[in-house]
Amino acid sequence: MTNQIQGEILFSGWAGDPANSQTWVYTPWQPVRGDFGTFGMEILRYNNLDLNWDVETRTLESASIITVLSATQTSTGAGTYYASSTVAVKELYRYRIATETTANLTDWVVFRPLPPSWKTDR
Protein backbone atom coordinates (compact mmCIF):
# COMPACT_ATOMS: atom_id res chain seq x y z
CA MET A 1 0.00 0.00 0.00
CA THR A 2 1.09 3.55 -0.68
CA ASN A 3 0.00 6.80 0.91
CA GLN A 4 -1.19 8.15 -2.42
CA ILE A 5 -4.17 10.49 -2.32
CA GLN A 6 -7.26 8.64 -3.57
CA GLY A 7 -9.02 11.84 -4.57
CA GLU A 8 -9.88 15.27 -3.23
CA ILE A 9 -13.11 17.16 -3.87
CA LEU A 10 -13.45 20.91 -4.45
CA PHE A 11 -16.68 22.78 -4.95
CA SER A 12 -17.13 25.87 -7.07
CA GLY A 13 -16.00 28.99 -5.28
CA TRP A 14 -12.25 28.31 -4.91
CA ALA A 15 -10.92 30.72 -7.47
CA GLY A 16 -7.33 31.20 -8.46
CA ASP A 17 -7.07 34.62 -10.00
CA PRO A 18 -4.42 36.46 -7.94
CA ALA A 19 -5.31 39.75 -9.62
CA ASN A 20 -8.73 39.49 -7.98
CA SER A 21 -7.28 38.43 -4.58
CA GLN A 22 -8.94 35.04 -4.68
CA THR A 23 -7.98 31.83 -2.96
CA TRP A 24 -5.85 28.89 -4.08
CA VAL A 25 -5.72 25.46 -2.44
CA TYR A 26 -2.21 24.02 -1.98
CA THR A 27 -0.72 20.57 -1.57
CA PRO A 28 2.10 20.18 0.98
CA TRP A 29 5.65 21.06 -0.09
CA GLN A 30 7.47 18.00 -1.44
CA PRO A 31 11.21 17.41 -2.08
CA VAL A 32 12.43 17.68 -5.65
CA ARG A 33 14.02 14.65 -7.36
CA GLY A 34 15.41 16.33 -10.50
CA ASP A 35 16.10 19.58 -12.33
CA PHE A 36 12.97 19.63 -14.50
CA GLY A 37 9.67 17.82 -14.13
CA THR A 38 6.49 16.85 -15.89
CA PHE A 39 3.60 17.27 -13.48
CA GLY A 40 0.16 15.73 -13.77
CA MET A 41 -3.35 16.13 -12.48
CA GLU A 42 -5.98 13.41 -12.76
CA ILE A 43 -9.65 14.44 -12.83
CA LEU A 44 -11.63 11.47 -11.53
CA ARG A 45 -15.16 12.90 -11.58
CA TYR A 46 -16.68 16.30 -12.15
CA ASN A 47 -20.02 18.06 -12.34
CA ASN A 48 -20.03 21.20 -14.48
CA LEU A 49 -16.72 22.55 -13.16
CA ASP A 50 -13.24 23.17 -14.54
CA LEU A 51 -10.10 22.81 -12.42
CA ASN A 52 -7.26 25.35 -12.70
CA TRP A 53 -3.82 24.28 -11.47
CA ASP A 54 -0.13 24.95 -11.70
CA VAL A 55 3.05 24.06 -9.82
CA GLU A 56 5.19 26.26 -7.57
CA THR A 57 8.77 25.82 -6.39
CA ARG A 58 11.05 27.37 -3.78
CA THR A 59 14.27 26.78 -1.87
CA LEU A 60 14.42 25.63 1.75
CA GLU A 61 15.92 28.94 2.91
CA SER A 62 13.67 31.37 0.99
CA ALA A 63 10.12 30.50 1.99
CA SER A 64 8.77 33.81 0.69
CA ILE A 65 10.32 33.60 -2.80
CA ILE A 66 8.05 31.26 -4.77
CA THR A 67 8.31 30.66 -8.52
CA VAL A 68 5.50 29.30 -10.72
CA LEU A 69 6.92 26.55 -12.94
CA SER A 70 4.40 26.60 -15.79
CA ALA A 71 1.38 28.46 -17.07
CA THR A 72 -1.88 27.76 -15.24
CA GLN A 73 -3.56 24.69 -16.69
CA THR A 74 -7.33 24.41 -17.08
CA SER A 75 -8.60 20.84 -16.91
CA THR A 76 -12.05 20.58 -18.46
CA GLY A 77 -13.37 17.08 -17.84
CA ALA A 78 -12.39 13.64 -16.62
CA GLY A 79 -8.91 12.54 -17.66
CA THR A 80 -5.22 13.12 -17.01
CA TYR A 81 -3.58 16.48 -17.73
CA TYR A 82 0.14 17.28 -17.83
CA ALA A 83 2.38 20.35 -17.60
CA SER A 84 6.17 20.48 -17.89
CA SER A 85 8.34 22.92 -15.97
CA THR A 86 9.66 25.74 -18.12
CA VAL A 87 12.29 26.74 -15.53
CA ALA A 88 14.52 24.62 -13.31
CA VAL A 89 12.81 23.29 -10.20
CA LYS A 90 14.33 24.43 -6.90
CA GLU A 91 14.45 22.29 -3.73
CA LEU A 92 10.71 21.98 -3.02
CA TYR A 93 7.54 21.92 -5.14
CA ARG A 94 3.76 21.96 -4.57
CA TYR A 95 0.57 22.01 -6.62
CA ARG A 96 -1.66 25.11 -6.57
CA ILE A 97 -5.32 24.38 -7.33
CA ALA A 98 -8.47 26.47 -7.86
CA THR A 99 -11.99 26.35 -9.32
CA GLU A 100 -14.37 28.93 -10.69
CA THR A 101 -15.19 32.05 -8.69
CA THR A 102 -18.92 31.65 -8.03
CA ALA A 103 -19.66 29.56 -4.94
CA ASN A 104 -22.05 26.73 -5.72
CA LEU A 105 -22.66 23.39 -3.97
CA THR A 106 -23.92 21.62 -7.09
CA ASP A 107 -20.71 22.15 -9.14
CA TRP A 108 -17.73 20.07 -7.98
CA VAL A 109 -14.62 18.22 -9.13
CA VAL A 110 -12.79 15.18 -7.70
CA PHE A 111 -9.09 15.24 -8.56
CA ARG A 112 -5.73 13.72 -7.67
CA PRO A 113 -2.32 15.41 -8.10
CA LEU A 114 0.07 12.86 -9.63
CA PRO A 115 3.73 12.35 -8.70
CA PRO A 116 6.01 14.13 -11.19
CA SER A 117 8.27 12.50 -13.72
CA TRP A 118 11.76 13.96 -13.13
CA LYS A 119 14.55 14.81 -15.56
CA THR A 120 18.05 15.38 -14.22
CA ASP A 121 20.05 17.88 -16.27
CA ARG A 122 23.38 18.12 -14.45
Residues 54-106 have pLDDT tens digits of 999 999 998 888 988 888 888 888 889 999 888 889 999 999 998 877 788 88
Which is nearest to 79 in space by CA: 55, 56, 46? 46
**pTM for this structure?**
0.83
CA angle 89, 92, 93 (to 5 degrees): 75
pLDDT confidence band for 22 (50 / 70 / 90) = low
Query: Please, what are the domains in the chain?
Result: 25-115 (2.60.40)
30 HSE (CA, 13 A, CB side): 17
Check pLDDT > 80 for residue 18: no
Beta bridge partners of 24: none
Q: Is the separation of the CB atoms in 106 and 4 below 8 Å?
A: no
pLDDT confidence band for 1 (50 / 70 / 90) = very low
CA distances from 65 to 44, 53, 75, 80 (A): 32, 19, 27, 29
pLDDT, position 59: 93
Residues 6+ apart with CB under 8 A from 101: 13, 15, 17, 20, 22
pLDDT confidence band for 20 (50 / 70 / 90) = low
